[in-house]
Amino acid sequence: MLKGKAVGNFATQEKSCEDLGSPFTAHLCRCLPELIDPQSRLGRLIADWPGDADSDALALRLCGALHFLVRAGMAPELSAVYPPDADMGRPLDAALGATLTRHDVTIAEALASPPQTNEVSRSGPLLGLLLHIADATGAALELNEIGASAGLNLWPDRWRYELGDGNSWGVRGAPATLECRWEGSLPPLEAQMRIAARAGCDLAPIDPSDPAARMRMLSFIWPDQVARLERAEAALALAAASSLRIECASAEEWLEARLARPQPEGTARVVMHSIMWQYLPVGMQDRISWLMAEAGTRTTLDRPLAWARLERSGKRGGPGERLGAALTLTLWPGGEERLMGRADFHGRWAEWNDTTAT
């Protein structure tokens, strides 16, 4: 049995996986600390984990490494008991133990990389923020995404959205349909959303045209969530067919350069990100916040700036409250920060309740 502070992240992630509809990944998080040899390279790495295991999503790094071995055909004994034919019992645990032993070094080295699911269904909640921006400014949107991974959320106008209670947005016959139930004070579905430009950066960008890179990204999607995998594959195919490629750069340096570029009149410059802020050092978060505020002082009504984010809020929610992230929007000129609502980490639902953030 593994010991150490970092092991607590497995129990935390087990609960999150259960809440987010992945009993298979929850089982992995529950049993892996018991199956890993404390004297193995992997066991020693986890016991002496140098960072914050929760912020680093340590358990998900390990689950992604195992899923990669399965998808790459490197662990046939594990593939036989993985979804779609999962057996969450002794056969699975035995196969996990054997795989952990056989691929100890490979798995340990894989933990150096944080999860990059690039969850395209987050476009459901992000669509609401973008419609608010389009409605408020009447301008075409210049999308700039930090922590963009493969850039799948830079194509919000290309999907079909089913938003519950008969509400929908987008064209039929789109490459993928995203289901995100909207509740509360809904964003303006009638707003005209026009995309003038798209760009993004990431410290480890994923090239959707590279089969190995696609496999790595797909390995971080929980294997028992088949619909998520299918949506991601459709989105990757669309991104691969485009000329857009995500730039390899740190968020604050890239953003500083983007904000300094001339902004065409009648265009709203949008900086967006989703479930990536937690991975940034506090100093970088402060730097980006300063860059946004400073750029906001240079805005005009015909050259506005918006900051749209779907990020952890530090609150897990009270009894009976669904686990979710904050939907926050800041719009310049003015610079008022508004908490627009909450949304599921995987984009399955959004609760809209526009208030001024405090």
How confident is the model over 121-146, as pLDDT tens digits? 999 999 999 999 999 999 999 999 99
What's the average model confidence in pLDDT over 285-301? Answer: 98
Percent of the chain clearing pLDDT 90 (strictly above):
89
d(Cα 326, Cα 324) in Å, to the nearest integer? 7
Element (H, E) at 332: strand 325-332
pTM: 0.85
Q: What residues are paired with 332 via a beta bridge?
A: 305
> What pLDDT does residue 315 have?
54
For the sheet with 177-179, list strands across it: 168-169, 160-162, 177-179
Helix (H/G/I), strand (E/B), else coil: 44: helix
Nearest to 177 by CA among 221, 217, 235, 130: 235
Side chain identity, residue 9: N
Q: Mean pLDDT across the chain, nearest whole number?
A: 94
Confidence of residue 358 (pLDDT cuts 50, 70, 90): very low
Side chain identity, residue 112: A
pLDDT at 351 over 60: yes
> What pLDDT does residue 319 have?
46
pLDDT at 357 over 60: no
Confidence of residue 356 (pLDDT cuts 50, 70, 90): low
How many Cβ atoms sit within 10 Å of the Cβ of residue 327?
A: 28
Which tokens hold the place of 156? Answer: 């919000």
> What pLDDT does residue 86 have?
80
pLDDT at 318 over 60: no
What's the average model confidence in pLDDT over 93-122? Answer: 94
d(Cα 93, Cα 203) in Å, to the nearest integer? 35
Render pLDDT for 215-255 as a digit per residue (tens, 0 to 9): 999 999 999 999 999 999 999 999 999 999 999 999 999 99
pLDDT at 173 over 80: yes
Cβ proximity of 304 and 333 under 8 Å: yes
> What pLDDT does residue 114 have?
86
Q: What residues are paired with 330 via a beta bridge?
A: 307, 337
